[in-house]
Amino acid sequence: MKIYVNGAVTTQFGELWGVSPRSLARGSVESALKDAGIESGQVEALFVGNMLSGMLGGQEHLGAFFAEELGLSVPAFKVEGACASGGLALHNAVNSLLSGQYATVAVLGIEKMTDHKPEDVATALMGAGSEEERSAGATFPGLYAMLARMHIQEFGTTEEQLAAVAVKNHYHASLNPNAQFHNLLTVEQVMGSSKVADPLKLLDCSPISDGAAAVILSSKKAKGSVEIAASVVATDSLGLAQRTHLTQLTSTQKAAQKAYHIAGIRADDVRVAEVHDCFTIAEVLAMEDLGFFPRGEAAVAIEKGETRLGVSTRVVVNPSGGLKGCGHPVGATGVKQVVELVEQLRGSAGKRQVDNATIGLSHNVGGSGATAVVHILKK
């Protein structure tokens, strides 16, 4: 059986002070239904990807909450897996179709973060870390800074090369009307921004964001359909202390290799990728773990523009702007990545369109690599 994305929409990402979660959900799902050319009555189930609604909003029952808002009297599920919640919701939706339980389902990824104090958001996000890390007062910028420091030590990666990730993704975001940021950056600006956790600086970090994205999945092909050729999840330890390596994410490697096998492709076949650049070092790790570049060579390649729109002859990475430029409403990110790939494979991405985009890959990570979700889409 083949699974198709028939409708795909994302809202504006950013500091959406005057927009409620209900409005975000309604706008994105209704638009996705319109894009798919179907009525809400044809949706048989709803999968909601969200991380923080309980800790920040006091509402955990999001399946029923949003089904009511959308007027859907169907089975509805909240799926949580830290920043990989959107990708996991999509994975569960794919499996529900493969099982034959449903023929058409909706997936909503959503998060409202900016209404809350930054310190409360940081504490809530650390719910994805290990007990040891929380007890030590660690934050995710600090954990990824450790990964960056190890990569610098092992491969000679430079802080300027990390900054090049932010520069590229802000350029891509400047072409995306739904992105949180449209300002261009220079390496000097990134290097001159405030230190958050050495060697990571403020402009190495993705922002706190609001936003939603929705897709309509079906076992029935329609006009404008894009096939989901593989949907794979892999896991690793919650904490860094239990890892064998700190310059690679084993979960990403396992998920990617299995996804390539299922889809019948190689890493070299991927023309466009949306990867989880929660911090600049995360994109460098992803490029190596996904097999796009040999270990230790991704940072140099990114600095040279080998993953940049209009320059790359191999794979364009994060044409949406990624988490860094487009924004990172954590539960929405994994779904937004797939929306971007659908637009790329349809040829409807406008100024950020990647040439010859026939195979795309999305990579969504929870925590510091405890969960990795990889989807491969084909035109």
Please give the positions annotated as active site.
83, 328
Q: Which helix (H) or strand (E) holds 326?
A: helix 322-326
Q: How many whole angstroms separate alpha carbon 94 and alpha carbon 89?
A: 9
Concatenated DSSP letters for 151-172? HHHHH---HHHHHHHHHHHHHH
The tokens describing 103, both together, are 């023929």
Q: Which residues pair with 7 in a beta bridge?
A: 216
DSSP, res 194: P
Burial class (CB in 10 A: 0-12, 13-18, 19+), 202: middle
Q: How many whole angstroms separate alpha carbon 196 and alpha carbon 309?
A: 29
Concatenated DSSP letters for 276-316? --SBHHHHHHHHHHTTSS-TT-HHHHHHTTTTSTTT-SS-E
Q: How many whole angstroms separate alpha carbon 140 and alpha carbon 146?
A: 10
First to last CA, the chain: 16
Residue type at 151 in one-letter notation: H
Q: CB count, 10 Å around CB of 245?
A: 12
Q: Which residues contact 341 (CB under 8 A, 6 or more apart)?
A: 226, 272, 274, 360, 361, 362, 375, 377
Q: How far is CA 194 from the centre of its chain?
A: 25
Q: How many whole angstroms separate alpha carbon 119 and alpha carbon 105?
A: 36
User: What's the sign of the alpha-carbon dihedral 56, 60, 63, 66?
Assistant: negative
- Give which of 165, 186, 203, 175 is closest to 310, Cα–Cα: 175
